[in-house]
Amino acid sequence: MVGHAAIREQLAAHRDELPFPAAIAGWDVKVGRDATGDAAVWVWIVLHDDLVSQVWPLQTRDEMRDQVRDLVTHAAAPIEVQVYVRFRSESEHKGIVGEDWAG
């Protein structure tokens, strides 16, 4: 299965190449199998609450999503993975995973 740590390293290494990197508070990464049994990686891009609006235009989200997808695909190679990229604000994410989430 795809390495969780390798994916996080890839994202961290290329963070500054993403649109509005200052808006990114961090990410959460999950690896596993999706609903159809394909190897999959889920990335939640967590955005600082006061900077969400920078990333929120659909085109910006598309660019960020596409770049994250490419980074994860590269990190997972040669394993082919489905990559699911979602967005949350920091307060939303902490409300779900716990206040001690640190990015």
Partner 1 sequence: MSLHKDLLDQAGHLVKRERKRPKQASLRRAVSAAYYAVFHLLIDAASRFVVRGSNRAELRYAVTRAFDHGEMKSAANSFKGGTLPSTLQGATGGPIPPELRRLCETFIELQQARHEADYDLTREFTRREAQDLVTRAERAFQDWTAVSGTPSGDAFLVALLLRKKLDR
Where do contacts with partner 1 occur on this chain (CB under 8 A)? Answer: 34-36, 40, 52, 58, 61-62, 82, 84, 86-89, 92, 96
Kindly tell me which of 9 and 62 has the beta carbon lying closer to partner 1. Answer: 62
Q: Based on CB atoms, which residue is closest to partner 1, 15 or 60?
A: 60
Q: Which residues, in sequence order, are CB contacts of 68 under 8 Å at separation 6+?
A: 11, 18, 43, 45, 83, 85
Q: Phi and psi of 6, rounded to 5°?
A: -60, -40
The CB-of-8 to partner 1 minimum distance in angstroms stands at 21
Task: Give yes or no for a contact between 46 and 75, defined as CB atoms under 8 angstroms apart.
Answer: no
Q: 8 or 94: whose CB is closer to partner 1? A: 94
Q: DSSP of 24-45, one letter per residue?
A: EEEEEEEEEE-TTS-EEEEEEE
Closer CB to partner 1, residue 54 or residue 89?
A: 89
E strand or H helix at 89: strand 82-89
